[in-house]
Amino acid sequence: MMFWLPIWLVTAMVLTAQPVWSQGNEALVKQGQEIYENNCADCHRSNGEGLPVKFPALKGNALVTGAAAPLIATVLNGRKGPMGLMPAWKDHLNDGQVAALATYIRQTWSNQAPAVTPEMVAEVRKRGK
């Protein structure tokens, strides 16, 4: 799909989609929050508490604050489980966006886990899990 877009448009998309790494963690978390609000909060809610029975809480969730790879894989590939369908994001969010998003949900709502880098996302994307 990307291949038919004019180069200036691709450049603009890349520029606006790139996280502001140079500005430190705060800017990264802020970018992640924006991505979360736009893509995830409808189901998992802005406070990360989800909705009983329908959408799991991400606050205090061991999958969110545990090893990075299973979290990245869940976001990229989605999943069909007992609570329903978690959509896949691999075609909608690039590595930098997923990294910012994952860093945000690992470091907000009293969650505490190390940041996720675009390199970690790229690796899981390549491996497929």
Which spans of this chain sit near ligand HEC (rule: CB under 6 A)?
39-40, 42-44, 55-56, 58, 61, 63-64, 71, 74-75, 79, 81-87, 89, 101, 105
Nearer to ligand HEC, 22 or 80 (CB): 80
Residue nearest to ligand HEC (CB): 81
Shortest distance, position 11 Cβ to ligand HEC, whole Å: 25
Buried b (16+ CB within 10 A) or exposed e, 42-78: ebbeeebebeeeebbbbbebeebbeebeebbbbbbbe
Nearer to ligand HEC, 79 or 127 (CB): 79
Shortest distance, position 8 Cβ to ligand HEC, whole Å: 28
In whole angstroms, give the CA distance from residue 104 to residue 93: 15
In whole angstroms, give the CA distance from residue 95 to residue 122: 6
Nearer to ligand HEC, 11 or 47 (CB): 47
In what helix (H) or strand (E) does residue 84 lie, and over which residues does it extend? strand 84-86
Nearer to ligand HEC, 81 or 114 (CB): 81
DSSP β-bridge partners for residue 69: none
